[in-house]
Structure 1
Amino acid sequence: MGKVVLVTGAARQLGGRFVRRIQRDPEVDRVVAVDSVPPGHELGEAEFVEADIRQPTIARVLAEYGVDTVVHLDVSGFALRGGSRTQVKETNVIGTMQLLGACQKTPAVRRLVVKSSTNVYGSAPRDPAVFTESIAPKSLPSGGFAKDAVEVESYVRGFARRRPDVAVCILRFANILGPASSTPLTEYFGLPVLPTVFGYDPRLQFVHEDDVVDVLRIAAREPARATLNSGTFNVAGDGVLLLSQCARLLGRPMLPVLLPAVSWASSALRTLGMMDFSPEQLRLLTHGRVVETRRLRETVGFSPRYTTPETFEAFVRAGGPGLLPPERVAALVDRVAALPVAGGGRTEVPQARPAPAAPTRTSAD
């Protein structure tokens, strides 16, 4: 008998991709896809079960199908099909609690993989240059998806202590980008003009959705050693990009605005429902965030195929050309960089180096 894998969040684009991919693994005999709404995409030969993980019925699903591997992808920063922020938080936190309770009562469960986010580190002016998995944030996130992710990880660690026989893997993903990605950050990059915080040019990291699917598949496998693939791992493409470099690649001009004005504008956009420009995203686009992925390479044996620049270039190509040629955007950014700031100095914006051309790859679901 092969593995029986249950995947939550199957109605989301990433969940659907992973469901289609994992069922082709020769070690997998059956895939059970779970979500509270029917998916709008194909799931291959997987069995779809319409169930809300916030409800105790998820325990019956685990027992009925004899699930031994759970891949929890229904942890997200945005609502699906017009849902509210309250629903998102309930699914993230209460849904995770119910799922973990069901796993604890199901002896057959032997492996748990949980999708988390580097948002747990927050974004603050005094943060370290690079976060490792063992570094605690200067201040815990006060709200939004970042706080949800912190709570989810806390519950997962508690579960790991109660069920030491279960291999538990937490994957902290950097901002996920790809041709089919749709997140608050991709909405921001889709604006005709990118509002930025005056005087700041944050460092950003991305991970390609193909690499996300690949590392999830590896984490869901039964490892040769009991400790392999267990623990918490940062997942991000090598390298970084400055926000100004992202603007140049997109062919979109930036509009530097003082921080109080950006905070007010983001709050107004969120209130009007035009864009989910949350406080945590504003902090990211002010202070940035970079993580180290050595533990992922050394313990799991996985290195992302796409670097951060290559990931962003793939995202740009999928979105089509911007409003302005990159050369004109670069000239505008350099002109803004030469403007004096309030302290009498100048805004230092490093020159963008051309990102390496992404190698030709075939992406298969």
Structure 2
Amino acid sequence: MAVTAAVSVVVVTGISRYLGAQVAARLAADKRVGRVVGLDPNLPSAELAELLGDVEHIPVDAASAGSVLAELDAECVVHLALVTAPEQQGGRGAMKEQNVIGTMQLLAACQQAPRLRKLVMRSSTAAYGASFRDPAVFTEDTEPRQVPRGGFARDILDVEGYLRGFRRRRPDVSATVLRFAPFIGSTANTTITRYFAQPVVPTVFGRDPRLQFLHVDDALEVLHRSVVEDHPGTFNVAGAGVLTLSQAIRRAGRVAVPVLEPGLSAAAMLAGGLRFGRYGLDQLDLFVHGRVVDTTRLIQEYGFEPRTTEAAFDDFIRGHAGRRVVTPDHLAAAEQAILDGIRRVRAAAQESS
């Protein structure tokens, strides 16, 4: 049974981005929360700034939070300032600096914060990796079968490792780790939503992975409850059920373009050739192997069940209906991109042999 308690001061990192701004705004509107302070070196957009009227903004990053947490007498820290893709932060080096080093320094500040009693951290199901050795369903106790190739997944493993050390040093602090499945929904704007929003969707030939999604509104609800209720532990957060990649593409009314050889490299080239944006190894491995997690622990502990993967994806479709139409030019570009990708992969293979 969840224990509800008032929280006098909550600090939220990453409020210049959608998730952080939404969480901070919800907490500021909750009478159980006294004061909400956002830490972010960047200013939120005008649209997000409207949400943050009752949220104090201190322009520092998580790595510089040491003196701030002590001065604020923070009781709860919600760490959302993680970068999921290199282009969001100016490259892989900057991404790792933000995710790993920033989190390590924030935890050091939390360790020295005398009034801190709760820490809520965003994590990801990417922590389990994605490979041909995966089990059908991951539980919170499942270890990755091999080290993930993607930068974000490796960052998540490092971040959770630092948090385990923090728990040993500060057993008096209730620490909640939320491993979110990929976000989707009518308002979500992520690599995944941009992938499915395109008229022609690149896939890897012969692969039809099982995918699980989380509606972004359900992620916000779980984050909110994690602050105003006590839920220590690590939790998978995802919608029940699965969609295969081919089912998702058909539901979205898109056209799948399978890459014939050899999967990952050609798919990455295809994505660039069609101007879909950059896809990292985290996304490419997901689209090859898929990933499904068990959410029993979340449902039992929180008394809350996110909407299903299918319902979350349908909301995404409604939000993007009619935005893209497949034209002969799209198909011609896809065909050319496939041929170019195959040529480049063959050329690279010949050079390395």
Q: Residue 49 of structure 1 corresponds to which residue in structure 2? A: 58
Out of 27, 31, 34, which is 1:29 matched to? 34
Q: What 5-or-longer segments of structure 1 have no aligned partner?
A: 224-228, 325-365
Q: Residue 310 of structure 2 corresponds to which residue in structure 1? A: 309
Q: Residue 238 of structure 2 corresponds to which residue in structure 1? A: 236
Post-superposition offset of 1:119: 0.3
TM-score by length of 1: 0.82
Percent of residue pairs identical: 47
User: 1:322-348: CA deviations, max 9, x gaps?
Assistant: 536xxxxxxxxxxxxxxxxxxxxxxxx
Q: 1:80 to 1:9 in 2, by over 3 A?
A: farther
In structure 2, how many angstroms separate the alpha carbons of the residues matched to 1:80 and 1:214? Answer: 28
User: 1:147-197: CA deviations, max 9, x gaps?
Assistant: 011110110111001000000000000001122222221221122211111
Q: Residue 202 of structure 1 corresponds to which residue in structure 2? A: 209
Q: 1:296 to 1:283 in 2, by over 3 A?
A: same
Q: Residue 248 of structure 1 corresponds to which residue in structure 2? A: 250
Q: What 5-or-longer segments of structure 2 have no aligned partner?
A: 1-5, 327-353
Q: Residue 87 of structure 1 corresponds to which residue in structure 2? A: 94
CA RMSD of aligned residues (A): 2.1
In structure 2, how many angstroms separate the alpha carbons of the residues matched to 1:245 and 1:256? Answer: 14
Once the two structures are superposed, the pairs formed by residues 271-350 of structure 1 within 5 Å of their partners are 275-304=277-306, 306-321=307-322, 322-323=324-325
Aligned 8 A contact 1:53 1:99 in 2: yes
Q: Residue 19 of structure 1 corresponds to which residue in structure 2? A: 24
In structure 2, how many angstroms separate the alpha carbons of the residues matched to 1:64 and 1:273? Answer: 47
User: 1:74-96: CA deviations, max 9, x gaps?
Assistant: 12313576633322221110110
Aligned residues: 317
Give the counterpart letter for 2:163 in structure 1: V
Indicate whether 1:6 and 2:15 are aligned.
Answer: no
Q: Residue 343 of structure 2 corresponds to which residue in structure 1? A: none
Give the structure with the larger helix fraction.
2
**What SS class does the counterpart of residue 254 from structure 1 fall into?**
strand
Q: 1:81 to 1:233 in 2, by over 3 A?
A: closer
Out of 128, 137, 148, which is 2:135 matched to? 128
Q: Residue 117 of structure 1 corresponds to which residue in structure 2? A: 124
In structure 1, how many angstroms separate the alpha carbons of the residues matched to 2:269 and 2:165? Answer: 35
In structure 2, how many angstroms separate the alpha carbons of the residues matched to 1:79 and 1:181? Answer: 18
Aligned 8 A contact 2:78 2:120 in 1: yes
Q: 1:268 to 1:285 in 2, by over 3 A?
A: closer
Q: 1:135 to 1:217 in 2, by over 3 A?
A: same
Post-superposition offset of 1:23: 1.0
In structure 2, how many angstroms separate the alpha carbons of the residues matched to 1:19 and 1:301? Answer: 22
**What SS class does the counterpart of residue 78 from structure 2 fall into?**
strand
Aligned 8 A contact 1:5 1:31 in 2: yes
**What SS class does the counterpart of residue 290 from structure 1 fall into?**
coil
Moved more, 170-179 or 80-89: 80-89
Aligned 8 A contact 1:79 1:87 in 2: yes
TM-score by length of 2: 0.85
Q: 1:260 to 1:299 in 2, by over 3 A?
A: same
Find runs of 4+ consecutive structure 1 residues off by over 4 angstroms. 79-82, 267-274
Q: 1:16 to 1:245 in 2, by over 3 A?
A: same
Q: 1:135 to 1:62 in 2, by over 3 A?
A: same
